[in-house]
Structure 1
Amino acid sequence: MTQKPKPPAADEKHIRRLLEKYSCPVPYHEVRTRFLGSIATPVPVQPLQIVKDLWGGELPEFESMDAVNELIGALINGLWNSLTRHQKRADPFRLTRTITGSTRQELGDLALLRRQELDGFVEGLFNGQDRIDLPGKASSALDTLGEIRAMMAGISELAKDDGKSAKADDLDQTFNHVRELTLIIEKEINIVVLDCTRARRQVMKSGIGFPPPTLH
């Protein structure tokens, strides 16, 4: 049986330019994780509506149909389709890579970026629902992600507090913690994606439904 070829990698620079051109309020790194959550979710989704939701529910104004097709093509045919590859264990998802920092500001920016990536993934996973049914491993992984999200929010706020002194050694140690947590985030996100993908395939084969779910 011939394997399907991998979707081509998305043109990140092109997508970033388009998001900036149309004043998208959601940063690129968060768009990536929101799309990934939407791909993994057991909730039915429409990719075009997910794109519209980046602008609050409606697409921005365009000068021409070519402009519409360019944006939709970049986000759905490009980014969305490229992210579907991460439903396979052999091709795990990776968070946005950043240049190693050393200052308080850079620490705060990094923690904020990770918090936004987590927010995007969870928002995509829930797709506007208050509660969703998740298989067991995905549910446990989501609990862990929630705990790390709180840590990242705390680090981000602490880094902005100029009233708190910060020694170079303390900053280095916190940077190391954030890097370690980044690896855990990636691991837990991939658990959610793979467990939801596995459960969805079981449903398609059996028509019975998810194994006993955990509500979130």
Structure 2
Amino acid sequence: MDMKKATTTPSNRNAQALLEKHRSPVPFHEVRTRFLGNIATPAMSVAPLQVIKNLWGGELPAFDSIDEVNELLDALVQGLWNDLTRHQKRGQPFRLTRMPAEPTAANLGRHGLVRIQELDGFIEGLFNGEDAIDLPERAHEAVRHLAELRAMMAGICELVSRDPVADDRNQLDITFRHLRELTRIMETEIHEAVLSCTRARRQMLDGIFTEKPTVH
């Protein structure tokens, strides 16, 4: 399966094409998880435009016309960003990028790298550029689990780099089965972090709006 076919909604396809057109240094699969982390973060100062600028190091890329600017922003904000907000619901779990299933050493290395980038993107977005952030307990637990899973993916990448032409089909089959299970765990932990942060943010906002004014 071509990795680009992993997400099939028009908003995803359009966003991916425009990111490639404008040479985003951040790959599409990582942009997805970074946006999701930014959507979920308890931080109240998230600005989608700045998040998009950060994909290019803090400033938007050069454009030939204002129409190109609007096209990119529309695809990333009205399209991809808004589409990802649905994962704040229990019945709409997030899915990581689907990877080639053929058990080869090359696919194994690529699989591990993409998962690392996706996890890094989610944490980058969730922390909103901060070194530390106050997270609800379940989200904090999820972040810890995701860090452990990232270390496993890094270990896989290291193994492949040492033996890039490994051809033990039986061992590769076993490893790919483990990868599929680990991917499901990653998706569960990401979704639980999103749900936990969404609840916490909603409760915080409810508290702000229901707080009675002080009588002087």
Q: If the length of structure 1 is used for normalisation, what is the TM-score?
A: 0.89
Equivalent in the alignment of 2:37: 37
> In the alignment, is residue 24 of structure 1 matched against residue 18 of structure 2?
no
Using the TM superposition, name which of 163-172 and 149-158 deviates more: 163-172
Structure 1 segments unaligned to the other structure (5+ residues): 1-8, 209-216
Q: Give the conservation status (yes or no) of the 8 Å contact 2:105–2:164.
A: no
Equivalent in the alignment of 1:211: none
Shift of 1:12: 2.3
Equivalent in the alignment of 2:199: 198
Equivalent in the alignment of 1:178: 179
- Name the amino acid aligned to 1:82: D
User: What SS is found at the alignment partner of 1:33?
Assistant: helix
Equivalent in the alignment of 2:72: 71
- Distance in structure 2 (CA, Å) of the matches to 1:196 and 1:126: 11
- Distance in structure 2 (CA, Å) of the matches to 1:10 and 1:200: 29
Q: Give the conservation status (yes or no) of the 8 Å contact 1:10–1:79.
A: no
- Distance in structure 2 (CA, Å) of the matches to 1:163 and 1:11: 36
Q: Sequence identity, in percent? A: 58
- Distance in structure 1 (CA, Å) of the matches to 2:132 and 2:103: 39
Equivalent in the alignment of 1:4: none
- TM-align CA RMSD: 1.5
> Runs (4+) of structure 1 moved beyond 6 Å?
none
Q: Give the conservation status (yes or no) of the 8 Å contact 1:36–1:83.
A: yes
Equivalent in the alignment of 1:147: 148
Q: Which has the higher helix share?
A: 2
Equivalent in the alignment of 1:161: 162
Q: Give the conservation status (yes or no) of the 8 Å contact 2:93–2:191.
A: yes
- Distance in structure 1 (CA, Å) of the matches to 2:52 and 2:146: 24
Q: If the length of structure 2 is used for normalisation, what is the TM-score?
A: 0.89
- Distance in structure 2 (CA, Å) of the matches to 1:167 and 1:124: 38
Count of residues in correspondence between the two structures: 200
Q: Give the conservation status (yes or no) of the 8 Å contact 2:105–2:166.
A: no
- Distance in structure 1 (CA, Å) of the matches to 2:146 and 2:69: 35
Using the TM superposition, name which of 13-22 and 36-45 deviates more: 13-22
Shift of 1:16: 1.7
